């Protein structure tokens, strides 16, 4: 059996979105599970809409998710063009031609030394990448493939098709095509190219400058293939027209470039979104015309927004990096993505990566589209957060703490706080709010909390009585503190909650947080005493006067 080789082939016309990431993940899982290769190919032939920013975002997203690719042109070969495609046109054609002819030559793909400039991209290596199966992959050693660097290859095959009589030059002008379309529409016929240039031959008068190359589509019969997730599929050839494979600019169209690359890169399984299902017959005709063996196809169902329509910006966050910035863990996103359109017979929900690799199969992918549900992602995120130690959570939340401009001079304290509070964290971005009143000098009092305390007219007296107890407490430990405060409540016949709540609000400014005595111990005697005193003078005396 041939080696398993798969690819993820995004167009760099926007950020890597959730649907794309899921496709990438399934490809990656399939490759890793079967000891195959996973390739990243940037389909940047839509020159108007492709941007370097998108390429950067795609790469960063893939790396954050730990979906590293196994080969590609070496970074050294690309000179300055490391993580993004560059300008070095003169080298492009030659080198890529070489790659194109020597795709069988896999020795080239042994990892060269890491390039330092790219290793920075690896700084937030996910736990995923420490999985043994991914260790061999050197993130950043290889750039992905870029189709715009392979133009000569497509040209070569387009010419080959012409000389074999499977394709032809088309000299139709835009006006001509427009008229044709209008005529067809007026006759209620489906608009498609009628093939009028099929027999015009090659023009030599120089008027052929703007010629495109069209594929000669068979005009009868049908094409059939077996899709791993969809089963047997058939399409009528008459419905397909002589589509353009190479534009006048020399840039290939999607179906053509994709087919050529899949073949040259020896892709064994084309795993992609459902939206490409209708493109598949065209591509199969191309394979046939070139006498190439077909890969296996697997079309994954789409991921939709909450309203059941195609996932788009108006559904809120759709880009992978937005989830990173929101404080989701890569492992949680991976797990969630895996659950969208794939499942095991026992409906298992949480999968460690090795488990996922072990159990994943294309056959168990569902045919129906899936709606993205952020709630479940959040739940999974929490589950994964629970597995982390306070130290690990701290490390991962540093960017969020920094971003909130909180002092970072006492990591030990933050870790201690996280130890008591970690099961409440839904997102890494929750961390600043959980720790801020510990590490900041001033307490921000939430109005709802304030209201609640001021409502109890005894709060003032209770706090006044409690203050010396705290002041005189030499061992400011939660056990002792709890004993003292409970003791105080009992002696004075006060319900504990009537004492606990004012203290909590006075020192933290809010009604929620750690257990009161954990809170006090973590805060320390000095801050507790200072804050209660300040609270008494700033809020409660005023409250007294107000009442009288």
Partner RNA sequence: GGCCCCAUUGUCUAGUGGACCAGGACGUAGCCCUCUCAAGGCUAAAACACGGGUUCGAAUCCCGUUGGGGCCA
- Which residue ranges make up the site for RNA (CB under 7 A)? 181, 188, 190-192, 230-231, 233, 235-236, 239, 241, 243, 254, 274-279, 301-302, 304, 308-310, 339-341, 343, 345-347, 349, 364, 366-371, 373, 375-376, 378-379, 382, 423-424, 482, 496-497, 500-501, 504, 511-518
Nearer to RNA, 123 or 368 (CB): 368
Q: Please give the Cα distance from 8 to 24 (Å, whole number).
A: 5
Q: How far is the CB of 146 from RNA (least distance, A)?
A: 21
Residue 303, beta-bridge partner list: 370
Rounded CA separation 53/109 (Å): 27
Q: 3-39 burial string, b = 16+ CB within 10 Å, else e?
A: ebbbbbbbbbebbbbbbbbbbbbbbbbbbbbbebbbb
Smallest distance, RNA to C-beta of residue 244, A = 8
Q: How far is the CB of 400 from RNA (least distance, A)?
A: 18
Q: Which is nearer to RNA, 102 or 310 (CB)?
A: 310
- Residue pair 83/52 in contact (Cβ under 8 Å)? The answer is no
Q: Which residue, 84 or 258, is less far from RNA as judged by CB?
A: 258
- Closest distance between RNA and the C-beta of residue 511, in Å? 4
On whether the CB atoms of residues 488 and 469 are closer than 8 A, the answer is yes
At its nearest, how many Å lie between RNA and the CB of residue 119?
Answer: 36
Look at strands 269-273 and 296-300 and give their pairing: parallel
Helices 496-508 and 478-492 pack at an angle, to 10 degrees, of 130
Residue (132 or 308) nearer to RNA, CB? 308
The least distance separating RNA from the CB of residue 132, rounded to whole angstroms, comes to: 28
Indicate the residue among 114 and 277 with the shorter CB distance to RNA. 277
Number of neighbours of residue 468 by Cβ within 10 angstroms: 10
Query: What is the Cα–Cα distance from 373 to 456, expressed in whole angstroms?
Result: 43
Q: Do 15 and 323 form a contact (C-beta atoms < 8 A)?
A: no
Asked if 79 contacts 46 with a C-beta cutoff of 8 angstroms, the reply is no
- Least Å distance, CB 510 to RNA, is 8
Rounded to whole angstroms, the Cα distance separating 199 from 242 reads 13
Q: Which is nearer to RNA, 354 or 373 (CB)?
A: 373
When the beta carbons of 495 and 547 are compared against RNA, the nearer one is 495
Cβ proximity to RNA: between 92 and 531 the closer is: 531
Q: Please say which residue, 107 or 475, places its beta carbon nearer to RNA.
A: 475
Strand partners, 296: 269
Q: Phi and psi dihedrals of 244, rounded to 5? A: -75, 130
What backbone phi and psi angles, to 5 degrees, belong to 342?
A: -145, 145
371 burial (CB, 10 Å; 0-12 / 13-18 / 19+) is middle
Question: What's the CA gap between 418 and 522, in Å, rounded?
Answer: 11
Handedness of CA 179, 182, 188, 194 (dihedral sign): positive
CB of 320 to RNA, least distance (A): 18
Residue 241 or 465 with smaller CB distance to RNA: 241
Q: What is the distance in angstroms between the CA of the first residue and the CA of the last residue of the chain? A: 90
DSSP character for 263? Answer: H
107 dihedral zone (left: phi>0; alpha: psi -120 to 50; beta):
alpha
Looking at the Cβ atoms of 373 and 544, the one nearer to RNA is 373
Least CB distance to RNA at residue 378 (A) = 7
CB of 256 to RNA, least distance (A): 12
Encoded tokens for 543? 């409250």
Task: Judge whether 368 and 301 are in contact, CB under 8 Å.
Answer: yes
Quote the least distance from Cβ 452 to RNA, whole Å: 9
β-partners of residue 478 are none
């Amino acid at each position: 059996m041939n080696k398993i080789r798969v690819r993820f082939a995004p167009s760099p016309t926007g950020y890597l979105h959730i649907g794309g990431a899921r496709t990438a993940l399934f490809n990656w899982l399939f490759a890793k599970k079967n000891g195959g290769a996973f390739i990243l190919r940037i389909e940047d032939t839509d020159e108007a809409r492709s941007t370097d920013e998108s390429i950067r975002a795609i790469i960063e997203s893939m790396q954050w998710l730990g979906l590293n690719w196994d080969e590609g042109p070496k970074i050294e070969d690309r000179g300055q063009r490391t993580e993004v495609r560059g300008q070095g046109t003169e080298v492009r054609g030659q080198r890529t031609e070489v790659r194109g002819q020597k795709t069988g030559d896999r020795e080239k793909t042994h990892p060269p030394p890491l390039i330092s400039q790219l290793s920075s991209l690896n700084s937030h290596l996910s736990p995923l990448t420490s999985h043994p199966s991914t260790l061999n992959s050197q993130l950043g050693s290889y750039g992905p493939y870029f189709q715009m660097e392979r133009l000569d290859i497509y040209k070569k095959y387009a010419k080959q098709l012409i000389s074999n009589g499977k394709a032809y030059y088309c000299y139709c002008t835009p006006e001509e095509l427009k008229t044709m379309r209008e005529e067809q529409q007026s006759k209620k016929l489906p608009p498609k190219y009628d093939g009028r240039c099929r027999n015009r031959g090659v023009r030599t008068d120089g008027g052929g400058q703007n010629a495109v190359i069209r594929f000669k589509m068979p005009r009868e019969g049908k094409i059939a293939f077996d899709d791993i997730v969809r089963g047997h599929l058939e399409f009528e050839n008459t419905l397909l027209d002589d589509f353009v494979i190479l534009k006048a600019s020399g840039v290939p169209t999607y179906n053509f470039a994709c087919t050529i690359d899949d073949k040259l890169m020896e892709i064994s399984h084309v795993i992609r979104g459902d939206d490409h299902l209708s493109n598949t017959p065209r591509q199969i005709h191309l394979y046939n015309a070139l006498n190439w063996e077909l890969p296996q196809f697997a079309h994954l169902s789409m991921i939709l927004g909450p309203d059941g329509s195609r996932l788009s910006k108006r559904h809120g966050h759709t880009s992978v990096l937005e989830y990173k910035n929101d404080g989701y863990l890569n492992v949680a996103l991976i797990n969630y993505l895996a659950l969208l359109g794939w499942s095991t017979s026992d409906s298992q929900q949480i999968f460690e990566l090795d488990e996922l690799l072990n159990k994943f199969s294309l056959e168990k992918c569902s045919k129906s589209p899936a709606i993205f549900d952020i709630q479940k992602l959040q739940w999974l995120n929490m589950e994964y957060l629970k597995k982390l130690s306070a130290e690990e959570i701290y490390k991962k939340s540093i960017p969020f703490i920094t971003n909130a401009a909180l002092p970072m001079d006492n990591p030990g304290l933050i870790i201690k706080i996280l130890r008591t509070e970690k099961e409440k964290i839904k997102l890494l971005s929750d961390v600043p709010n959980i720790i801020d009143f510990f590490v900041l000098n001033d307490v921000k009092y939430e109005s709802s909390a304030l209201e609640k305390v001021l409502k109890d007219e005894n709060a003032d007296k209770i706090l006044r009585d409690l203050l010396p107890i705290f002041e005189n407490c030499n061992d400011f430990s939660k056990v002792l503190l709890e004993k003292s405060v409970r003791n105080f409540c009992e002696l004075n016949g006060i319900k504990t909650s009537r004492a606990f709540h004012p203290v909590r609000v006075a020192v933290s400014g809010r009604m929620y947080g750690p257990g009161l005595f954990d809170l006090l111990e973590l805060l320390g005697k000095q801050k507790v005493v200072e804050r209660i005193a300040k609270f008494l003078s700033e809020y409660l005396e005023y409250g007294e006067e107000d009442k009288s």
